[in-house]
Amino acid sequence: MMRMKSTDYKALSVSIVLLLIAICLPWIVGDFALTLAVNMAMFTVLATSWALFSGPTHYISLATAAFFGLGAYTMGLGVDHLPFWLLVILAGLFGAIMAGIIGLATLRLSGVYFVIFTLGLAEMTRQIITYIQNATGQKGILISIWFEESTFYWMLVALAALIFLVGWLIGRSRLGFALRIIGDDEEVARHSGINTALSKVLLFMIPGSVAAMSGAIIAPRYGYIEPLIAFTPMLSFQVVIMALLGGTGRLWGPLAGVIPFSILWELISASFPNQTTLLLGLSFLIIVYLLPQGFVGLLLKIRAKIGDGRGY
Amino acid sequence: MSDHRTVLSLQGVTKRFGGLIAVNDLDFDVAEHEVLGLIGPNGSGKSTTMNLISGALSVSEGEIALRGQVISDLPPHKIARRGVARTFQLVRMLPSMSVMENVMAGGVFGHRRRWGRDAERQVMKMLELVGLDRRANARPSELTYIDTKRVELARVLVGDPKVLLLDEWLAGLNPTELEEGIALVKQLRDEGRTIVLVEHVMDAIRSLCDRCVVMSSGQKIAEGATEQVLSDPEVIRAYLGEDDA
Amino acid sequence: MGILITGLLLGGTYALIAMGLNLQYGMSRIMNLANGEILVAGGFAAFWFWTAGSLSPLLTIFILAPVAFVVNWLIYVIILRPLVKRARSRGQLEVDAILTTFGLSFVAVGIMLATFGGDYFSYSYLLSPVELWSETYALNRILAFVAAVIICGALYLWLNISRAGMSIRAIAVSPDSSRLVGIDVPKLAALAFALGGAVTAVGGALISTFLTLDASTGVIFTLKALVIVIMGGVGDVRGTIVAALLLGVLETFVARLIDPGLTLAAAYLLFILILLFRPQGLFGRRQS
């Protein structure tokens, strides 16, 4: 459980090969595919970090857009004063702090309160920022730096690799074990000496921080940010769907949801731009009724069946 | 009353639910290496008392102390870390985890905090003790009822607690299983563990408990050596007032 | 004074919407996040009947209520009941219900966008000013408030007096024991869900007389209704009404004195305070 086993080494080498392929992608594919790849990398970052928290705890967080917007605004407001990389780190810090505060207020209560709270969080933050901008007579923020598309891509891939590493380490740590126990039975967890509230808050800080960093990294790509761009509520839902579609039972699960859904989303919004909401809705229903454990669950089930077949 | 051998002590413990008094001014001490039976008819407040000791419920009045330190104002996880471990009236397994991990859950965060090889070794030792070492990789859903009870026992033992709270741990077992179960708890007693057990099965109470505290309607009505308490006329009356006496 | 009355008028309509959600969550145990879309659909129906047939929204609600009742009943029986049946725990049902009703809400928005487009909808109905205590208010707001009071009152009486109403309240308290005393829980849960949907749709029709709606505003109303239900206490009719009036007044204060764009932020402030200090609701008893 805690030592490196042969399967661990195998998983590690596969991951490294996949990472190398991902890194080489910009030299292989064309411009259009690269744009799609940037989106995929971003959603991989967001969905994987989302699943780190929501997978074991079963708390559905819809706060991604709020953290993302926070990060984008950190970049927008600071870009003329501080170096880019420092702002990314700062954004991560702010995201973690905000997640900590939200977590302390809501995570000791049942999951419903948490969902409701996070559902409106992006909208509330957007209203407040709009109000402040109106009060100061500002409309949006121009971001004066600019990167090549491939640079955005590599930054996000690096962040994704970092999250996979963190997720893998958490999975082997006491905190990871504690969260699995909490997910199974919170009462047993408490009586086994686990500070359940603290564990959940600590873990929630990861997606908060990561989403804020992604927002900061991506902000220059927009060039100009205003509340409606930075706090787009769709983002939170897309992340939930991709993570659940892939499955949260494995670290790589969300990735299995990100790739097909990003492509589908691209196709639908290109040909039927008004029907993206319908797509979101149907995806939710498909997840609940047909793929409750996501693609990961489906795969494990098939594998188990094949295993059974061999047994007879 | 609290001499150096006292491990757990309850003083004036009262629990109210709205207007209902579930536990009323309860006092008792548990000495080191002692098996104390907490008995009484249904609804007399035994399980509530267990929940108060483990922190699942908070006391309305009074104090619970572990080796002289008050624990009744602590949250459950801190009480567990001080060395109070409990089983649940209805067995609670962690369904997504193996037997080994189910047991390990009790030994990583609680009183003794082990991790890695050290934890695995201790888990295997406990599984051996309860006779489940061969099923370490099984899932809880593949286990028989008594085996899930064994897993739960191993889970509370693995943290090396100062006090074990067994809440009707023997309930629902068939006669053969019951015999095995009693033998297992006896073994724990012989190892010198300190145990509080809530139990209905008279045979188990007779053969396991050094002393008994009898509760009725939230109050202590008798306390003393097991045989003596069980022949107390008031205790008999309290039990006969019930159908399944 | 003017703000207070405007706020109370708004709060009355909020009470109706929240009552619909509370019936659904408290009684049938489904946290319906598509509640706001039902409201918007109700508003659209009122708009359509008014512009196409000049039918007064006050009459529309008599057509709307039974239709919404049947639609919601079907949604419960076909889509949600299988989830209730397969759920192994309360927690699992909660997660499933949240995801499903989110799905339904997006599907509803998608359908409404496709049929009505993304424009704002508003119409002038009974705009004539009414003077109360030397301040003027639009007649439509007052009428909506009166209608809301009548419906809330009728619901309250029904829940407290009729056999079906009492059974529904019993389910809210304890589904398992209700089954033991011979209450047909699945049937009444469906009834509560359908009734909640009908109440919400009627609330939407009333609100559309004085607020502008568009296909995607539903979620804002869902949020407000949720905040009210949690503030008032799940399953608590009296608490819901008090909480709704409170929210109506607070929102009107914020809109008039600070900025109309901050109404949701105001609702949130209230929500945070409730979560921190009285998570069991205004009148709820703290459980350990």
Q: pLDDT by residue for chain A (312 residues), tens digit each? A: 445 667 778 878 888 888 888 887 878 888 788 888 899 999 999 999 999 998 888 888 999 999 999 999 999 988 889 999 999 999 999 999 999 998 988 887 777 788 888 888 888 888 888 888 888 877 788 888 888 888 899 999 999 999 999 999 998 899 999 998 998 888 999 999 999 999 999 999 999 999 999 999 999 888 888 888 888 888 998 899 889 888 887 888 898 888 888 888 888 888 877 778 888 888 888 888 888 887 888 888 888 777 665 444
Task: Flag if C114 and A106 touch (Cβ within 8 Å).
Answer: no
Task: Flag if B58 and C285 touch (Cβ within 8 Å).
Answer: no
Here the ipTM equals 0.89
How long is chain C?
288
Does the pLDDT value for residue C288 go beyond 50?
A: no
Residue of B nearest to A179 (CA): B105
Task: Flag if B57 and C285 touch (Cβ within 8 Å).
Answer: no
Place of tokens 């997606």: A207
Q: Please, what's the b/e burial string for A218-252 (b: 16 or more CB within 10 A of its CB; e: otherwise)?
A: bbbbbeebbbeebbbbebbbbbbbbbbbbbbbbbb
In chain C, which residues have their Cβ closer than 8 Å to the Cβ of B57?
Answer: 288
- Is C223 within 8 Å of A120 (Cβ atoms)? yes
Task: Flag if C288 and B57 touch (Cβ within 8 Å).
Answer: yes
Task: Flag if A177 and B77 touch (Cβ within 8 Å).
Answer: no
Q: Is B233 on the interface with C (CB under 8 A)?
A: no
Task: Flag if B81 and A193 touch (Cβ within 8 Å).
Answer: yes
> CA of A5 to nearest chain C CA: how many angstroms apart?
33
Q: Is B58 on the interface with C (CB under 8 A)?
A: yes
Residues 6+ apart with CB under 8 A from A175: A199, A202, A203
Mean of the pLDDT values across residues B165-183? 88
Task: Flag if B110 and A193 touch (Cβ within 8 Å).
Answer: yes
Task: Flag if A191 and B54 touch (Cβ within 8 Å).
Answer: yes
Does the pLDDT value for residue C6 go beyond 50?
A: yes
* Cα–Cα distance, A276 to C222 (Å, whole number): 21
Domain definitions of chain A by residue range: 6-311
pLDDT recorded at residue C129: 63
The torsion region of residue A253 among left (phi > 0), alpha (psi -120 to 50) and beta comes to alpha
The three-class DSSP label of residue C104 is helix
pLDDT recorded at residue A309: 53
Task: Flag if C219 and A119 touch (Cβ within 8 Å).
Answer: yes
pLDDT recorded at residue A164: 92
Residue of A nearest to B117 (CA): A2
Nearest to A99 by CA among A58, A76, A131, A71: A71
In chain C, which residues have their Cβ closer than 8 Å to the Cβ of A112?
Answer: 31, 94, 98
Residues 6+ apart with CB under 8 A from A10: none
Burial class (CB in 10 A: 0-12, 13-18, 19+), C194: buried
| Window C:14-73, CB contacts with A under 8 Å | 31, 33
When the pLDDT of each residue in chain C is averaged and rounded to a whole number, the result is 80
| Among the partner residues A58, A274, A285, nearest to C91 by beta-carbon distance | A58
Name the fold adopted by A6-311.
Answer: ABC transporter involved in vitamin B12 uptake, BtuC (1.10.3470)
* All partners of chain C with 3 or more CB pairs under 8 angstroms: A, B
| Window A:147-176, CB contacts with B under 8 Å | 174
Chain A, chain C: beta-carbon pairs less than 8 Å apart: 117
pLDDT recorded at residue C183: 74
Does the pLDDT value for residue B242 go beyond 60?
A: no
How long is chain B?
245
Does the pLDDT value for residue B192 go beyond 70?
A: yes
Q: Is A58 on the interface with B (CB under 8 A)?
A: no
Place of tokens 């009462």: A187
Nearest to A111 by CA among A200, A188, A212: A200
Q: Which two tokens stand for residue B139?
A: 């899932």
Q: Among A184-193, B35-44, B136-145, C181-190, whose mean pLDDT is lowest?
A: C181-190
Task: Flag if A131 and C216 touch (Cβ within 8 Å).
Answer: no
- pLDDT tens, B6-57? 899 999 999 988 778 899 999 999 999 999 999 988 888 899 999 999 999 9
